[in-house]
A and B are shown apart, each in its own frame.
Chain A
């Protein structure tokens, strides 16, 4: 079942292209979907498509127009990321981490930092990556070993980050490091002396998302590298940035379910078994009905989280946890069923469901593992009902 979406009208000559669900789908269908499996096998989203994303204004369209963005609302941003996730989770992952850096810059940056970075971040001339995970610390942010200390009026950064999406291509890293007892955020240009980038290949999923390990060895930074407050409030930079990343991953997971649904509807319509179409079997219909139900539910949860973000309502934080947990677990479940529906074909590179299956697993781990999410959601439940 393909969600009917009207093709967008061509923009007037010289006008900026419209950014909405329909235009994002049209872009993805033309440039990404047909080659997503090629990216997956090659292990990289090519530079050419990243530049096209920039031409369409999709890197950070939520930034204000005065800084080169399009003032796009969060609900529409979610729809764009869903459509990218429907086409290729590696592309969506690159958008996610760039979005996280762009949002953190706009939310926490000084006027000088915003003036310096925002215009190029908005267009994608400068690509961002989010550096939190380390060889020994993933969801456990308190376990961060990368450290930063005052040095010559600025900062000295040392440590190693791992599993950094977009890391092998990014120009600017949003790095979280320990400064005494708090975790602070830093903007670190890739060109800073002491920054080393080692690509990580052959991941299970989102194989084309340019994942890398980033080493920081005696990296000297100016005082303007610090993003946002230090001390007790510095954790808010991480919380807020992860919230937006989680929102993007949730929306991308909806896209995965939608892609599974469409692949299964097409396959079971054309595949026959015992003289009947596969789609006529009750057990197959049950799988598709569950996909339809869950993709709609997950989309509504994402839209609600986006509405709360647009309203700047603090309830968006928990709404996003719930949306990401629901959408990612549903994506993992339905992508597994999609492979099952396709049989041996589903395990081959002839059909997209094997890629969807591998990518969906990643969604249950990134931006806070689902185990961490369940703990947080349960805490909320006890707060709501405690007497």
Chain B
């Protein structure tokens, strides 16, 4: 899969709320620690394949965009800010297509 697809049934999230939504999801999964938006969650040792799958499912469900295989790079998921950037690019990819 090299392209993203859009789920039109998912209401659009305002761009200003993207990072907050992602941050909220990550914090809910790890309530015992404070995680800053620019903090490397991989370096904190929390990531396993189960959480990685949950992250991808959350992004796809919340923002209505599939994450293509070539965007499943570690740097896209290191921080809340990086994930928000990924969502922004996926939105542009759909609107450009």
Given A312-B61, A383-B31, also A232-B50 (CB < 8 A): no
Interface centre among A110, A243, A383 (most CB of B within 10 A): A383
Contact between chains at B52 and A231 (CB < 8 Å):
no
Selected from B53, B70, B73, the residue in CB contact (under 8 A) with A317 is: B53
Interface residue B1 (Cβ < 8 Å from any Cβ of A): yes
Contact between chains at A387 and B49 (CB < 8 Å):
no
Given A109-B1, A111-B1, also A317-B31 (CB < 8 A): no
Given A108-B69, A311-B61, A314-B58, also A232-B31 (CB < 8 A): no
Roughly how many angstroms separate A240 CA and B31 CA in the complex, as a whole number?
24
A residues less than 8 Å from B60 (CB atoms) = 312
Closest to A107 in B: B1
Q: How many A-B residue pairs have CB under 8 A?
A: 67
Given A109-B1, A229-B72, A231-B73, also A236-B31 (CB < 8 A): no
B residues less than 8 Å from A381 (CB atoms) = none
Contact between chains at A239 and B52 (CB < 8 Å):
yes
Interface residue A159 (Cβ < 8 Å from any Cβ of B): no
Given A110-B1, A232-B74, A235-B49, also A313-B31 (CB < 8 A): no
Question: Distance (Å) between the CB of B38 and the closest chain A CB?
Answer: 19
Question: Distance (Å) between the CB of B56 and the closest chain A CB?
Answer: 6
Selected from B2, B56, B73, B74, the residue in CB contact (under 8 A) with A110 is: B2
- Determine chain B's interface SS by DSSP, over half rule: helix
Interface residue B95 (Cβ < 8 Å from any Cβ of A): no
Closest to A312 in B: B61
Interface centre among A111, A228, A233, A311 (most CB of B within 10 A): A233
A residues less than 8 Å from B31 (CB atoms) = 383, 386-387
A236-251 at interface with B (beta carbon < 8 Å): 236, 238-240, 243
**Bitwise interface map of A from 369 to 387 toward B, beta carbon under 8 Å scored 1, else 0:** 0000000100000010011
B interface residue count range (under 10 / 10 to 19 / 20 to 34 / 35 or more): 20 to 34
Given A314-B58, A383-B29, A383-B30, also A236-B52 (CB < 8 A): yes
Given A236-B56, A311-B61, A312-B61, also A229-B49 (CB < 8 A): no
Selected from A232, A313, A387, the residue in CB contact (under 8 A) with B57 is: A313
B residues less than 8 Å from A239 (CB atoms) = 49-50, 52-53
Question: Distance (Å) between the CB of A157 and the closest chain B CB?
Answer: 20
B residues less than 8 Å from A108 (CB atoms) = 1, 69
Closest to A376 in B: B50
Selected from B1, B49, B57, B69, the residue in CB contact (under 8 A) with A314 is: B57
B residues less than 8 Å from A228 (CB atoms) = 69
Contact between chains at A235 and B1 (CB < 8 Å):
no
Roughly how many angstroms separate A311 CA and B54 CA in the complex, as a whole number?
13
B residues less than 8 Å from A232 (CB atoms) = 52, 72-74, 77
B residues less than 8 Å from A236 (CB atoms) = 49, 52-53, 56, 72
Interface residue B97 (Cβ < 8 Å from any Cβ of A): no
Selected from B57, B70, B73, B74, the residue in CB contact (under 8 A) with A312 is: B57
Interface residue B16 (Cβ < 8 Å from any Cβ of A): no
Selected from B2, B30, B52, B58, the residue in CB contact (under 8 A) with A233 is: B52
Contact between chains at B61 and A314 (CB < 8 Å):
yes
Roughly how many angstroms separate A228 CA and B71 CA in the complex, as a whole number?
11
Roughly how many angstroms separate A112 CA and B91 CA in the complex, as a whole number?
24
Question: Distance (Å) between the CB of A61 and the closest chain B CB?
Answer: 22
Roughly how many angstroms separate A190 CA and B20 CA in the complex, as a whole number?
48
Contacts A/B (CB < 8 Å), 24 sampled = A108-B1, A109-B1, A110-B1, A110-B2, A110-B69, A111-B2, A229-B70, A231-B74, A232-B52, A232-B77, A233-B69, A235-B48, A236-B53, A239-B53, A312-B60, A313-B57, A314-B55, A314-B57, A316-B57, A317-B50, A317-B54, A317-B57, A386-B31, A387-B31
| Chain A residues at the B interface, C-beta cutoff of 8 Å | 108-111, 228-229, 231-233, 235-236, 238-240, 243, 311-314, 316-317, 376, 383, 386-387
| Chain B residues at the A interface, C-beta cutoff of 8 Å | 1-2, 29-32, 48-50, 52-58, 60-61, 69-70, 72-74, 77
Known pairs A235-B52, A383-B29; list 14 more (Cβ under 8 Å). Answer: A110-B69, A111-B2, A231-B74, A232-B73, A235-B48, A236-B49, A236-B52, A239-B49, A311-B61, A314-B54, A314-B61, A376-B50, A383-B32, A386-B31
